Structure formats: C-alpha cells, structure tokens
Amino acid sequence: MAQGDGDARRSSPAIGRPRSPGPQTTRDPGAGDRKLLALADDFVRAVRGSELDVLTGAEVAGLELLGYADSRLPGVLATLQARVRRSVWNMQVRLPFFAEDPWDELNERSRRAGHNTRLILAESGLVANPLVSSQYPIVRTGPVPLSMILLDESVVVYAGLRATSGHDTIWAASREDWVGLALGVWRSAWQLATPVLEDPDLPPLNRRQFAVACFLAQGLGDDAISRRVGVSRRTVASDVRAVMDLLGAQSRFQAGNKLGSLRPPAGGPV
C-alpha cells in the first residue's frame, strides 16, 4: 500500500538509536553461553536420529520434513503460520535482505492477528544485514546456537541436516519432549538477548524508507520509486539519502550496490 509523504512507522517486527551499554551485572556470560550450548546440543542429539530415519523413508510421529531452505520456504511457512493462534518466537543466525521481501505477508499476518512476536538475531546477523532493525524493530541480539521458530509453544520449526544441494533441511517437530527441549533453548537465549533499539517505534528507516531501499535494490530510479511508493520525487530523494547514511554509502549508485550485495544469490540457500 502506498504511503503518504508523512512519516510512517512500523508498529511491530527492527536505528533510532542503538541501546547504550547497561550497568555491569554479576552474571557470568560465559556460564550462560555454556548452558545455552548444552541445551541446544541436547535438542540436536534428540532429533538427529529421527531426521535420518525420515530421510531414508521412514515415518516418525511428530516430525515432518517441510522442505529445504530455498525460495520455496516462505510458502511452506505461510501454510504453517495459518494455524498459529498465539505466538511466533523466531531465533536466527541471520536474516538476509530480500528486496522483494517474501516474508512481509507473514509478518503482516502476525501483526494483524495480534500474535506475540519475538525475534532473536546473532550479532553477526546485524552486521550482515544493517536493515534488519528497520524491518524488525523488536529484534534482540544475543547468542544463537541454532535457527528455530516456535509456534504457539507447541511446534518447533528448525534447520536440520544440510542436504547435498547445500540447502539446510527444514523440519517441524511437535512431539512434546522435543518441543520441551526447544523451549529450554529459546528461554535460555531470551535471557541472554538484549534489545537492539532503545525505542522500537523509532527504527533507523521508517516503513516507507525501507520500501524505498527495497526498490533501490531492484534498480528502480527515483521517478519509478515515486510512483510505486506514492510520494513526491523530492521525498524519494530524501529517503534515498537516509538509506545511504545507514549504509555508509557515498552515492546512490554505491547504496544500490551495497543493497545488492546483501541479497541472497538466486537459487542459493536462504
């Protein structure tokens, strides 16, 4: 939907300003990390043998191979999300920048439904995609031992064994003991994670500016972006400058190249 010339903010899953370092605590972060890694290892060990059983043709109750981390994944997740009633808790090492943003429909659906939505991203993921806190202002950063999405605290969608194609296998586990292990991983990671933004209502790029960044990455000129977004060419030029500042680009051309480098290769792993 086209935005007006006024500022448009994202209301949920994101830099206004990065958070200032908080007061020192007595918690030993090394101990927290070790506990998290041990919990993640318990989960992986519990499901790995069953993954192999499914891949060799067996049926395992409570475990479903959804597919692979490629361009078809958004459609698979959309089918799962249609069943969500309460919560979507997401933990990822990184979230690539998709100029066409195939995830937007999923995010909007969760927002409209009022789902409890949470996101933890590894620190390296913020560096790999500097636009992520604009797209997801609720993002927290912290240690991420494995990628998973918990739906309603009753189904865990996770990345499993890597296929020979180079894509990770994607699974949905609903068996109670497996979900319990995944919840242990999530809760431990959530305790260690900290918000990226001081104010999620003030992301570095507002909703319209993020859309401009997407169109810039697609190679559109200011006139074409103006028509797509529904604002004046002057406003587009101002928004492009905001994108350039965020990326540390010296020119519009350099910003376009940097955005292009953030996108996953066609046909490559997601």
| DSSP conformational letter for 197 | B
Residue type at position 201: D
Neighbours of 102 (CB within 10 A): 15
pLDDT in tens, 99-128: 887 456 777 778 888 899 999 999 999 999
Q: What's the angle, vertex CA 152, arms to CA 148 and CA 156, rounded to 5?
A: 30
DSSP character for 145?
S
Q: What are phi and psi of 69, to 5 degrees?
A: -75, 75
Q: Does residue 16 surpass a pLDDT of 80?
A: no
Q: Which domains does the chain have, with CATH numbers?
A: 29-195 (3.30.870.10), 207-262 (1.10.10.10)
**How many Cβ atoms sit within 10 Å of the Cβ of residue 184?**
17
Instruction: Look at residue 148 and give its three-state secondary structure.
Output: strand
Res. 174 pLDDT band, cuts 50 70 90: very high
CA angle 172, 173, 179 (to 5 degrees): 135
Q: Which class for 27: exposed (0-12), middle (13-18), buried (19 or more C-beta within 10 A)?
A: exposed
Question: Given this model, what pLDDT does residue 126 score?
Answer: 92
- pLDDT given for residue 43 in this prediction: 98
pLDDT band at 2 (very low <50, low <70, confident <90, very high): very low
The structure tokens 């191979």 sit at 65
Helices (H) and strands (E) in the chain, counts: 10, 8
Q: How far apart are CA 155 and CA 170, in angstroms?
A: 13
The pLDDT value given to residue 104: 67
CA distance 51 to 56: 9
Segment 175-213, tens digit of pLDDT = 999 999 999 999 999 999 999 999 999 999 999 999 999
Give whole-number Cα distances, 162 to 37, 55, 102, 166, 182, in Å: 20, 12, 23, 6, 19
pLDDT at residue 20 tops 50: no
Average pLDDT score over residue span 129-137? 93
Model pLDDT for residues 137-154, shown as the tens digit of each residue: 999 999 999 999 999 999
Name the residue with higher pLDDT: 266 or 13: 266
Of the CA atoms within 13 Å of residue 135, those in its CB half-sphere come to 24
Q: What is the mean pLDDT of the chain?
A: 85
> Which is more confidently placed, 96 or 242?
242
Distance CA 81, CA 88 (A): 8
pLDDT tens-digit series, residues 22-76: 333 334 567 789 999 999 999 999 999 999 999 999 999 999 999 887 767 777 7
For 130, the enclosing helix (H) or strand (E) is none
What pLDDT sits at residue 111? 82
pLDDT band at 270 (very low <50, low <70, confident <90, very high): low
Specify burial of residue 151 (Cβ count, 10 A radius: 0-12, 13-18, 19+). buried
pLDDT number for residue 54:
95
